[in-house]
Amino acid sequence: MKFQVLIGFINYNGEIIPADIPVLNSTNRGFRYGDGLFESIRVTEGNMPLRDFHFDRLFSSMAMLGFDSPPDFSRNTLLSRILDLCQRNNCHDACRVRLIVFRGAGTMNDVQDNLANYIIQAEELPEKQLRMNDAGLELDLFSGIRKTCDSFSSIKSNNYMLFSLAARQARLRNLDDAFILNIHDRLCEATVSNVFAIRDKTIYTPPLSEGCIAGVMRRWVQELLRKQNILCRETPLTVEMIKQCDEIFLTNAIFGIRWVGRFREITYGNGMTREIFALLNSR
């Protein structure tokens, strides 16, 4: 079994330390209960293109979860520390950043530290530019847990068990990813992506009320389509609806857009998806 070797540095609560030094213990609520959230961020050539979207989601989610912010936990400070860590870890072209926020020590009923503790990680991405996949992804439905549709469903919570199990099942079935259903047996999202479906030149994506995470790339694609006067509707997606679609694509802050080539016996094209991807890369 191979384990990832941690190299370079991390930022732990504003302090730069080697990435292989442990910073959590067994009393940490983030470790014990998944009490926290995270952001996956793409940085390209020292620029964080979707920073406002990331920080909007981060701070609104923290408020929903009742975190107290440290005095230096601001958008400008976080941006400066993210870019500094990318430079320290020699990520000059494209970098994947993970910002993890969590509560400190405590039990379930006794929170000893309600301040937002955080870790920033940064690693180089092999692709400098966003590039759409040549071969279409193959997906099926995750046959396990259904996702709830409540006010917390849109948060990128540190409790990622449902998505982890879905990704594992897809891997065991030699699939690229899995669609996750909500409690109404409607399409919610994929394991690390939001879902868009195209039929007759109209684009559809599930609303947040269907339980999907409020993806920053989802938001950016919706704004881009609106500016281009391309019709994009938020509507619940049933399994039967996606079987009748012409194209399906997934969105994520790290890879941008990827097209789905197959769902069970159904195959999809990618003509309009490629046009949207070209618009995304032109910005």
Q: Specify whether 59 is located in the same domain as 35.
A: yes
Residues 177, 108 within the same domain = no
* Orientation angle between helical segments 216-227 and 271-281, nearest 10 degrees: 100
Residue 54 in domain: yes
* pLDDT under 70: residue ranges of the chain: 1-6, 111-113, 128-129, 283
Token pair, residue 59, equals 């701070």
Tell me the pairing of strands 266-267 and 256-263: antiparallel
| Domain assignment of residue 87, given as a range | 9-124
Kindly state the tokens that stand for 129.
Answer: 């530019």
State residue 129's pLDDT score.
67
> Based on the domain organization, do 170 and 276 belong to the same domain?
yes
Q: What is the pLDDT of residue 246?
A: 98
pLDDT score, position 2: 44
Residues 6 or more apart in contact with residue 180 via CB below 8 angstroms: 142, 147, 162, 163, 166, 187, 188, 189, 190, 191
Quick one: 112 and 21 in the same domain?
yes
Q: Name the β-bridge partners of 266.
A: 263
Same domain flag for 250 and 143: yes
Q: Which two tokens stand for residue 136?
A: 């279409």
pLDDT tens, residue by residue, 88-126: 999 989 999 999 999 988 777 776 668 899 999 999 998
CATH number for the domain harbouring residue 226: 3.20.10.10
pLDDT of residue 30: 85
**What pLDDT, on the 0 to 100 scale, is given for residue 31?**
87
Residue 223 lies in a domain: yes
Tokens of 202: 């109209």
Residues 103 and 156 occupy one common structural domain: no
Tell which residue, 72, 85, 105, has the closest CA to residue 17: 85
